[in-house]
Structure formats: C-alpha cells, structure tokens
C-alpha cells in the first residue's frame, strides 16, 4: 500500500527543485529535449500501444462506455499525432528570457521586463493519453516543471509515455524531475495537488470537462487557470453578407459539435432576420442540426422547436442550436453579457462600425469578425498547441500556449544610482 500523502509531498519537493534547476537551462537544451521526445514517442510506439491495450482491457472490464474507450484508445496514427504535436511545440520560439519591454525612466535606470517560467504547474486531466505528451511539451517549452495527474483510466498509457519523457529529458541534460507523472490511481493524489503540495505548486491547470474544472476551482488552494465552458455565440448583423453568414454559421456549429469553440446560440438581427435566417437554418437542418428558437425565429422557420430559458445557458456540445432574434448589435451584446461564458463570440457583418461596437461591447476572450468560432484554438492561433482556453480574465485569456505559461520579472541595470 502506497502512502499517497508522502508520495505527493515528495513529488512537490522534487518539482520545486527541478523548477529552480530549469531556470539555469538553455532554450537549446529545451528544444533538444522536445525533439528527442518526438523521436522517442515514435520509437516507443510498441510499448505505448501495449500499455494502452492494458488500459482498454481494464476499461472494458469496468464497463466504460464505448465513447470513453474511443477517447482513451491509441493507434499508430494517434502516436504519430502526439509526436507531430511535440515537434510543433519544439519549433515554437522559446519564450523564456525574451525581453517584453525595455526603457529608461527619468532616474536613468535601464529597466527590462523579461519573461520567466512560472515555476511548478500541476496539470489535472482526464483519460486522454495524448495530454501527457502535450502538457509535458508545453511545460518544457516554457521552462516550467510539471506534476501531471492523468485520469485513472489512462494510467498505463500515460506511464509508458512518461517513461519516454523521463528518458529524453535526461538525455537532453534537463533536471530528471522536470516532468513527473503521478504514478498511482488513488483519488487522494488529486486532493494533494489541489492543496498546493505545501506551496510547491504555483498554478493548477485543469484540462477536462465542466465538472472537473468546477471541482478544481472550488477546492484549489493554489491559483487555477481553467475554462469552465464555451457558450459561444454567432451574431448575424443586418449588414451581413448572406453567403458568409451561411458558410460561417454552418461551420461554427457543425464542423465539430463537441469542441468548446462550437457555437451554441445563433443571434439574428431583427432588421434582416427574414433575409438571413431561413437560408442559414435550411443549411443547418440539412446537416442534421436541431434548432430551438424564440417565437420570432419560429415564425420564420416553422420547423424549429420552441426554445426554453435553459436553452440560452446550455453548452450542448451536440448538433443542437438555440436561435434568438435581437435588436441589432446592442441586443446581441446584451444577450451575450447575460448568458455568455466569456469564451468566444463572432459577428457576421460588412459594417465596420457595427463590428467595432460588437468587439468593444462583448467582454469575451476571443471576438471574431466574419469568421467561425471554431477557430478558437491555440493551434489555429499559431501557438503550436494549447493546454486549454482560459475564460479567466487574469493572467492569461483565450488559448494558453507556452508563452501564456510564463510570467515576468524586471531586470534593472544601474551604475551605482541611489534613490533621492
């Protein structure tokens, strides 16, 4: 029987020491570790797939649903995908040490704001084995030490991946404890991370469903960077181009319905609803989407189901869309302020002033003009990957890549100045 409390406390101490040692490593060494990790994952394909087969066997035995088993399952293509993701992160510029600003105020001091790692990140995720490689790569790129806690269903797969990480980190000369995976399935380990491991954890990142993130946010004693949900809106303005409105709305809802950037509510300007809504709705219906509208929307598209109040607050993650007629930009902004989750909103319009009023009025992490909410993704933003999309307003907002996993310090160079 493992003493989980002692194990976790020891992991915290080692992570803190690794974080201190990582500060002295070079960007080249971190890139080297990432490049080796990509190769190492390819070389260990057989071991990783064998471990994954054990996870799947256990999952079947404990009656996990087919959908969850699919999420857990690895294939040669998925292992290759992990390696490519790590290579993409390796190709990103190393953020550590970058000068964000440098200036000389009246006192003559040379002041630079320089990016630094945050320290130790605690990442808690569900049963997607690829997150083990992704999270490790983003933490290494940003110079942070990591304590990774995977869902218990993917522990065997994650241990196989963590073994590759440990080997490549050592080969590149980085601290051996730079990335540690919690090696046991006990739920007590999650509580230990949430407690902050005696101050060793600087930031907790939950990556997973709403209930996981909500638990982490309510129980954590250390700061948390997480997103609760993506209740995204697309607003069709009176000045929308019909062709853009049709293509973008269909993509925003139906490209993948299970991602946090999928549009969940369509808002349509009353002034052009008769022109815009029927063809947009026809495309969605043809693609298999269920529409739930208010009375005015249903008057234009009679096949719609009647929307209830709960529909404005539902992140369906399914081929269902709520539809509401609003009074122009201000009506759309009011609806989003009341019901939105601060994630991602789009306006479709040819009117630049309307676009600006929408962008100013909506207080969300991402505001898109004439394009699809499904672009809410660190990869699409050019970040080489993401550990999640933050709906917090503090520290980092929107996609969280390596740069967003840094903080800064001020480096002040003087020549013996004293303060008067």
Binding flag, residue 415, its own copies (CB under 8 A) = yes
Per the structure block, which two tokens stand in for 71? Answer: 């999420």
Binding window for its own copies (CB under 8 A); candidates: 148-156, 192-200, 278-286, 362-370: 362-370
Residues of span 175-214 touching its own copies by CB under 8 A: 202-203
For residues 132 and 251, which CB has a smaller minimum distance to its own copies in the complex?
Answer: 251
- In angstroms, the CA 122 to CA 150 distance is 11
Binding flag, residue 374, its own copies (CB under 8 A) = yes
Give, to the nearest 10 degrees, the angle between helix 155-171 and helix 45-61.
Answer: 160
For residues 20 and 198, which CB has a smaller minimum distance to its own copies in the complex?
Answer: 20
Return the residue of 3, 20, 47, 198 that touches its own copies, per CB under 8 A: 20
Return the residue of 118, 179, 257, 277 that touches its own copies, per CB under 8 A: 118
Return the residue of 137, 304, 397, 401 that touches its own copies, per CB under 8 A: 397
- In angstroms, the CA 375 to CA 187 distance is 35
- In angstroms, the CA 61 to CA 64 distance is 8
CA dist list (Å): 102 to 27, 317, 365: 21, 45, 27
Q: Are 130 and 41 in contact (CB under 8 A)?
A: no
Binding flag, residue 419, its own copies (CB under 8 A) = yes
Binding flag, residue 247, its own copies (CB under 8 A) = yes
Nearest to 191 by CA among 390, 405, 9: 9
- In angstroms, the CA 328 to CA 99 distance is 43
Beta strands in 210-337 (DSSP E): 232-236, 263-269, 290-293, 305-306, 320-326
Per the structure block, which two tokens stand in for 386? Answer: 């993401």
Binding flag, residue 13, its own copies (CB under 8 A) = no
Residues of span 36-65 touching its own copies by CB under 8 A: none
CA dist list (Å): 114 to 96, 145, 239, 412, 416: 8, 19, 44, 10, 22
Return the residue of 29, 98, 111, 299 that touches its own copies, per CB under 8 A: 111
Binding flag, residue 369, its own copies (CB under 8 A) = yes
Residues of span 322-361 touching its own copies by CB under 8 A: 337, 359-361
Nearest to 120 by CA among 167, 174, 164, 179: 179
Binding flag, residue 152, its own copies (CB under 8 A) = no
Return the residue of 105, 211, 302, 309 that touches its own copies, per CB under 8 A: 105
- In angstroms, the CA 342 to CA 346 distance is 12
Binding flag, residue 244, its own copies (CB under 8 A) = yes
- In angstroms, the CA 249 to CA 321 distance is 10
Please give the distance of CA 136 from its chain centroid, rounded to a whole number: 14
Binding flag, residue 107, its own copies (CB under 8 A) = yes
Binding window for its own copies (CB under 8 A); candidates: 128-136, 286-294, 299-307, 365-373: 365-373
Binding flag, residue 394, its own copies (CB under 8 A) = yes
Binding flag, residue 416, its own copies (CB under 8 A) = yes
- The minimum distance between CB 104 and its own copies, in angstroms, equals 8
- Residues lying near its own copies in the complex (CB under 8 A) are found at 20, 23-24, 103, 105-107, 109, 111, 116, 118-119, 202-203, 223, 225, 241, 243-244, 247-248, 250-251, 255, 337, 359-361, 363-372, 374-375, 377, 380-382, 392-395, 397-398, 407-419
């Amino acid at each position: 029987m493992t003493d989980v409390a002692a194990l976790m406390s020891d992991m915290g101490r080692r992570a803190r020491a690794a974080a201190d040692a990582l500060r002295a490593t070079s960007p080249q060494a971190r890139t080297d570790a990432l490049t080796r990790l990509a190769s190492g994952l390819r070389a260990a394909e057989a071991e990783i797939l064998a471990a994954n087969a054990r996870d799947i066997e256990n999952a079947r035995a404990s009656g996990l649903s087919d959908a969850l088993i699919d999420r857990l399952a690895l294939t040669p293509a998925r292992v290759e995908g992990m390696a490519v993701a790590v290579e993409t992160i390796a190709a990103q510029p190393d953020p550590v040490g970058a000068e964000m600003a440098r200036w000389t105020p009246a006192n003559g001091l040379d002041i630079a704001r320089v990016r630094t790692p945050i320290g130790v990140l605690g990442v808690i995720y569900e049963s997607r084995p690829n997150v083990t490689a992704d999270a490790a790569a983003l933490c290494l790129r940003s110079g942070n030490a990591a304590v990774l806690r995977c869902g218990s269903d993917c522990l065997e797969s994650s241990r196989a991946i963590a073994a590759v990480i440990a080997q490549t980190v050592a080969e590149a000369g980085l601290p051996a404890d730079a990335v540690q995976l919690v090696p046991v399935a006990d739920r007590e380990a999650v509580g230990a991370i949430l407690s902050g491991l005696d101050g060793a954890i600087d930031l907790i990142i939950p990556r997973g469903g709403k209930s996981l993130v909500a638990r982490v946010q309510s129980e954590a004693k250390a700061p948390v960077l997480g997103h609760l949900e993506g209740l995204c809106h697309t607003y069709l303005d009176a000045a929308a181009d019909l062709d853009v409105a049709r293509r973008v709305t269909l993509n925003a809802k139906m490209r993948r319905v299970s991602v946090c950037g999928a549009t969940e509510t369509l808002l349509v300007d009353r002034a052009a609803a008769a022109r815009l809504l029927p063809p947009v709705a026809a495309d969605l219906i043809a693609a298999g989407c269920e529409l739930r509208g208010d009375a005015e929307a249903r008057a234009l598209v009679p096949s719609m189901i009647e929307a209830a109040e709960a529909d404005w607050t539902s992140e369906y993650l399914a081929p269902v869309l709520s539809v509401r007629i609003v009074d122009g930009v201000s009506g759309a902004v009011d609806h989003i302020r009341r019901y939105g989750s601060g994630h991602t909103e789009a306006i479709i319009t040819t009117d630049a002033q309307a676009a600006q009023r929408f962008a100013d009025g909506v207080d969300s992490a991402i505001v898109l003009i004439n394009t699809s909410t499904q672009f809410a993704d660190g990869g699409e933003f050019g970040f080489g990957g993401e550990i999640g999309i933050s709906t917090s307003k503090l520290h980092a907002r929107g996609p969280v890549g390596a740069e967003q996993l840094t903080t800064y310090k001020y480096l002040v160079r003087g020549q013996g100045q004293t303060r008067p």
